Amino acid sequence: MSDRRLLLPSLILVAAGAGWLGGQFSTQPGSPLADVLVAPARAAGLPAAVDGQPLPSLAPMLERVMPAVVNVYTASRVQVRPSPFMDDPFFRHFFGIPDMPRERVERSLGSGVIVDAGRGLVVTNHHVIEAADDISVTLADGRTLVAERVGADPATDIAVIRIPAEGLVALPLAQREPLRVGDFVVAVGNPFGLGQTVTSGIVSALGRGGLDGRGVQNFIQTDASINPGNSGGALVNLRGELVGINTAIYSRSGDSAGIGFAIPSTLTASVLDQLVEQGAVRRGSLGVEVQDLDAALAASLGAATGAGVAVTRIQAGGTAARAGVQVGDVITALNGTPVRSGRELRALEGMLPGGGEVALVVLRDGRERRLAGALVSALTALVGDTADRRLAGAEFTPVPERLAARGVRGALASAVAAESPAGRAGLRRGDVVLQVNGTDLDDLEALRAALVRAPAVLSLTILRGNRLYKVDLTG
């Protein structure tokens, strides 16, 4: 099974693309299964009008939307490690065994959305193309084209690919009105490789987070049916505007249970611009560790419960330190957006582009203060200019509470670009850096200090799953 599942309490979070269930569905258009499933059904049709009034229909809107939604197919070549005996030509000759293949090809599927017809830019999910050696795109009109990778951002699960085609149709991003809970939405994608499929529902919630194993979390939740293969597809409003990129579901079975998640188009647009211009996303970092306010802590700090987060640690040289934030301050707003929990602050922080200014509202000694400062990039705030080259493409966050409770200390690699120096050296998203050149790390600040004083060659001891590994980085 090539779907990526993240175990949750009694549930499964499924990245709704990049594969098929049990290998039962062909990824190729025109397969026998697809032919059977698209056979015309014999059913009575609805009348065109009732009491002289035409029935409402989404068809006119979908006629504009569907040409902009594409099917994404990927192929990955995986090295096969045969038995040592199979490597011996004498052994193969003696027993009449033919040469064994050295690799196998794994195929997966997903969806994408054309966002720039002139440049052939298609947005999809990072997990759809993450391991792909070859990417192809099938348009609504049946054309299949080879796509090239433009850039990807693991933290938001957004990727951009480019196709060389004329006569494309792009989907506009919703900008006129903010999305609200209860708004009707329509999901368009390629579930199970069946081809373009439309489902409808409403916005169930906004700003969803807390999904274990994900990066920047500010999801739209919808009950529009989303299944494996829908990843990277479009979530649109009734005007046919893109409001989100479908990315994951909650499910006990792996199929749609009416709880799907989409990346908001506002976040998608910000990531898209950086990926097209720079090939990667350069984020800003506040450089703080915070704690949610319970009743006792809120009372001691002169704040209301749930109306901010308490600062417990400040990173030297980081954005917050430069802006004048102090330990014990309660951050209540970031760039005009209220902050009610550490999760909300991390989601807002993850959307901050590198450079520019940041505005904070904090409570200190019961009085509100407004602070501002230059936004420091996540990498610079963490490792300093000396180590940027060695860990370029990697971002780090504190060790999750579930690991800290087991006594794990160090820094979590929350995002690692595969094509970056850190990615090529073998560092992966989800790795926990425990040591630098044999020195134990307590936290993010310890990693920063170790990297600044380390020699040209860095030997990282990392925890990946339940195993320890070594990753060597050179300057």
Residue of 111, 225, 231, 285 marked active site: 231
pLDDT at residue 94, as a whole number: 62
The reply to whether 291 and 273 lie within a common domain is: no
CB 460 within 8 A of CB 427: yes
Beta strands in 55-126 (DSSP E): 69-79, 103-116, 121-125
47 domain residue, yes or no: no
Token representation of residue 77: 């070549």
Would residue 231 show up in a list of annotated catalytic residues for this protein?
yes
**Minimal CA–CA distance to 326: which of 376, 364, 374?**
364
Give tens-digit pLDDT for 321-359: 889 999 999 999 998 888 988 878 877 887 777 667 889
Q: Give the position of tokens 């301050």.
A: 329
**Catalytic one of 3, 157, 223, 329:** 157
Dist CA 469 CA 449 (whole Å): 22
Whether residue 312 sits in one domain with residue 360: yes
End-to-end distance of the chain based on CA atoms, in angstroms?
38
- 246 belongs to a structural domain: yes
DSSP-based three-state secondary structure for 253: coil
Claim to verify: residue 433 and residue 310 sit in the same structural domain: no
What are the E-state strand segments in 26-102? 49-50, 53-54, 69-79
Identify whether the C-beta of residue 457 lies closer than 8 Å to the C-beta of residue 474: yes
Question: Residues 85, 197: one domain?
Answer: yes
pLDDT at site 106: 81
Domain annotation covers residue 51: no
pLDDT at 70: 95
Task: State pLDDT tens for residues 300-317.
Answer: 888 887 789 999 988 777
267 and 212 within one domain = yes
If we measure between CA atoms, which residue out of 266, 267, 270, 328 comes closest to residue 303? 328
Q: Decide if 373 contacts 324 (C-beta within 8 A).
A: yes
pLDDT means over runs of 10, the chain (475 residues): 37 44 37 37 53 79 94 82 57 60 77 95 92 90 92 87 93 84 94 89 87 73 91 93 91 76 89 83 80 87 85 83 91 90 80 78 90 73 48 74 78 76 81 88 77 71 87 74
Active-site residue, selected from the candidate residues 76, 108, 127, 270: 127
Distance of CA 270 to the CA centre of its chain: 14
Looking at 236-335, list the stretches that DSSP marks H as alpha helix, in order from N- to C-terminal side.
265-278, 295-301, 319-323
Looking at the structure, tell me whether residues 356 and 441 fall in a common domain. no
Q: What is the span of the domain harbouring residue 411?
A: 389-474
User: Is residue 44 assigned to a domain?
Assistant: no
Q: Looking at residue 136, which CATH number applies to its domain?
A: 2.40.10.120
pLDDT of residue 162: 95
Would you call 32 helix, strand, or coil by DSSP?
A: helix
Same domain as 357, residue 416: no
For residues 324 and 231, membership in a common domain is answered with: no
Residues 357 and 422 in one domain: no
CATH code, domain with 452: 2.30.42.10
Considering the domain architecture, whether residues 7 and 86 belong to the same structural domain is answered as yes
Residue 84 lies in a domain: yes
Angle ∠(144,149,153) on CA atoms, nearest 5: 130
157 assigned to active site: yes
What's the pLDDT at 45?
Answer: 53
User: What's phi and psi for 391, nearest 5 deg?
Assistant: -115, 25
Structural domains of the chain, count = 3
Of the residues 280, 296, 318, the one at which a domain ends? 280
Report if residue 164 sits inside a domain: yes
**40 in a structural domain:** no
How would DSSP label each residue in 172-238?
Answer: PBP-SS---TT-EEEEEE-GGGS--EEEEEEEEEEEE---TT-SS--EEEE-S---TT-TT-EEE-T
CA distances from 4 to 150, 217, 229, 368 (A): 23, 17, 12, 45
* Closest residue by Cα to residue 391 from 403, 410, 400, 378: 378
Cα 281 from Cα 152, distance rounded (Å)? 8
Strands 309-314 and 284-285: unpaired
In angstroms, rounded to a whole number, what is the distance separating the alpha carbons of residues 411 and 397? 6
Give pTM, 2 decimals.
0.65
CB 275 within 8 Å of CB 267: no
Q: Is-contact 35 275, C-beta < 8 A?
A: no
Looking at residue 216, its pLDDT comes to: 74
pLDDT tens-digit profile of 69-104? 999 999 887 666 555 555 566 656 666 666 555 667
Among residues 344, 377, 410, the one where a domain terminates is: 377
Which residue, 377, 403, 427, sits at the end of a domain?
A: 377
Please give the pLDDT value at position 33: 33
Q: Which residue has the tokens 């006594």?
A: 407
187 & 319 share domain? no
Looking at the structure, do residues 267 and 292 belong to the same domain, yes or no?
no
